[in-house]
A and B are shown apart, each in its own frame.
Chain A
């Protein structure tokens, strides 16, 4: 049962046009989210993690052009699973909207900017609840919101719920944003850097809470983060992105113990990972991130890769299955030279 796929994304691409110049930001991204599991998406800033997830749920503006073989969401909410082709739905149509909140919800990256300055916290938390539960009384919704704020460890919640965003600290806002995402009891939570504004103890508190929900209710989580410690703690599966592509994906042990893509290897060496060899020095990946508009052919990482050869500069590098469930987009894996 643990391998029920709740979200299946196949070859998702997003082109963003700015000033009439189209740039491919997300390229043929495929991943699967298992029910009751956590998928971590990692990769350096600007590699397209946020754009990928926003493209999946189509919370994008008009200058985004999204294509995909399929984006399949399987709802297990009531009885027999029901399937939705998200890629075929109108972004702001009735069906897509009915999924946003009760089925799939998002915690956005920037809590400072994510709350509407003119409404009370409570009103912002209950808005989705009232939308998806026609007939629910405002009082009841308010009570539910209060309960959620308490669950998230907000002190003096009765008072906080009546306050406005500008009266709150960053950490508090972050928790409100999380409350908004969780209030409709969603099946999938997409959390984009959900704890960056929080201090370490609160961070682990919130993560603990998410983890708890997950085990109790079989919720699925997509966790976008830079924090490898968090990945080690939370994730079941990992997808590593580089310049709009998933360059390596697999179960967490495979990625952490046997990273195959040179970028993943570099990434793991460049960040401290909790519980991993503490005495090893941190080594930065040489070179700098290319501009997504400049990339044309071949492997995106070629310019910074120590193993780069002529074949790496041509065409699109395919994905290879190095071991069951462990995919790598690197020609070295095709030759079988590992490490």
Chain B
């Protein structure tokens, strides 16, 4: 197992280097010049641009700049936004907690509700719970996050005036409870689609497993139905469900870009939108790299869970 983990980590490292280089090259070839953003229309002259470029070290060959970038990253110096001049540490890195706050909350909420209702739908197939669950799943699966965001705002903020439409920390907020109202709508917008997805996936996987011969054999031992469902059906559904759950995490972060913009939530999504339009590669680069690291970590976790949950995987290694 230790050897396997080491191998995976090494592979992950190699992947990160390849991906970051690809992004670096791609961002250098978009044709949009971040320098022009920095100078603004009024101050832009070819001479000023050339001078600034020299000062920022942008004239060095691509590979040199790429290596220099790595050196900066490793020394903890994340640099500055080329287009807007802010320090990336405070402008991007410091925004992660806000983004993680809504996406992790959304993930926990949708995991509990999605898997819970999915299980009940499978156990009580064709019951009221099942029909309601399937209806929610169908809606959640076909409607994107930002659409829910707009509907939720319309309903709860505009019509009912119950919840705020934007911001993370309301003026004068002290405790978590003061901040909770601001959290509800963005989390709901993110959680509903994910919930629908997990519900449907859990239900279908469990129904699939419930038809297996080994479940029949388990029943022939005379064990109670709840044990059949927990020990045999659910236990065997866990591996596929956990896999889907982890991969949804990256989609959740993607979805949060739109949701953050709609709710003026001060997270990385907002920063990213801005940076992309300016081809601000030092910012985009780091964001993309962080996402890549996250994805690779997740796929690593997926493999790890597969090995933990399934002896067929574990003992093959």
Those of B295-313 within 8 Å (CB) of chain A: 309-312
**Once bound together, how far apart are the Cα atoms of A61 and B311, in whole Å?**
28
B217 within 8 A of A: yes
**Once bound together, how far apart are the Cα atoms of A164 and B309, in whole Å?**
13
B residues contacting the other copy or chain, number (CB 8 A):
23
**Once bound together, how far apart are the Cα atoms of A61 and B213, in whole Å?**
12
CB-CB under 8 A for A59 and B309, given A114-B214, A115-B214: no
CB-CB under 8 A for A108 and B213, given A116-B232, A117-B311, A118-B235: yes
Those of A157-186 within 8 Å (CB) of chain B: 164, 166-167, 177, 180-181
Is the beta-carbon distance between A128 and B236 smaller than 8 angstroms? no
Those of A229-263 within 8 Å (CB) of chain B: none
Is the beta-carbon distance between B222 and A164 smaller than 8 angstroms? no
B128 within 8 A of A: no
Q: Which residues in A have their C-beta under 8 angstroms from that of B89?
A: none
**Once bound together, how far apart are the Cα atoms of A166 and B313, in whole Å?**
10
Is the beta-carbon distance between A166 and B220 smaller than 8 angstroms? no
Select B309's contact among A61, A99, A118, A128, beta carbons within 8 Å. A118
- Nearest chain A CB to B277's CB is how many angstroms away? 50
Is the beta-carbon distance between B213 and A166 smaller than 8 angstroms? no
Smallest CB gap from A177: residue in B: B217
Is the beta-carbon distance between A108 and B217 smaller than 8 angstroms? yes
Q: Which residues in A have their C-beta under 8 angstroms from that of B211?
A: 61
- Nearest chain B CB to A190's CB is how many angstroms away? 9
A105 within 8 A of B: yes
Q: Which residues in B have their C-beta under 8 angstroms from that of A100?
A: 219-222
Select B220's contact among A59, A62, A167, beta carbons within 8 Å. A59
Is the beta-carbon distance between A131 and B220 smaller than 8 angstroms? no
| Interface positions of A (Cβ within 8 A of B) | 57, 59, 61-62, 92, 97-102, 105-106, 108, 110, 113-118, 127-128, 131-132, 164, 166-167, 177, 180-181
Q: List 13 A-B contacts (CB under 8 A).
A: A59-B219, A92-B225, A97-B222, A99-B222, A108-B213, A108-B217, A113-B212, A113-B214, A115-B217, A116-B217, A116-B236, A131-B222, A131-B223
